[in-house]
């Protein structure tokens, strides 16, 4: 068995962090507000840092 290599970037951890940030920002929004918010994120109008 090959030894595990140290990763400089963990994709799973990165996307879980993004998902949690999006969920925190969308709490309390209606479905229509959430759709508009996600459209703005996809279009690059809002940056998730």
Residues 6+ apart with CB under 8 A from 31: none
pLDDT at 22: 95
pTM for this one? 0.70
pLDDT at 49: 79
- For the stretch 1-46, pLDDT in tens is 788 888 788 999 999 999 999 999 999 999 999 999 999 999 999 9
16, with CB counted inside 10 A (0-12, 13-18, 19+), is exposed
State the Cα–Cα distance between residues 28 and 42, nearest whole angstrom: 20
- With contact defined as beta carbons under 8 Å apart, do 37 and 26 qualify? yes
pLDDT at 24: 95
pLDDT at 2: 81
pLDDT at 4: 80
Residue with tokens 């996307």: 15
């Amino acid at each position: 068995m090959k030894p595990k290599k140290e990763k400089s970037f963990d994709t799973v951890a990165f996307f879980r962090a993004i998902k949690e940030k999006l969920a925190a920002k969308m709490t309390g929004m209606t479905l229509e507000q959430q759709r508009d918010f996600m459209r703005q994120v996809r279009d690059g109008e809002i940056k998730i840092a």
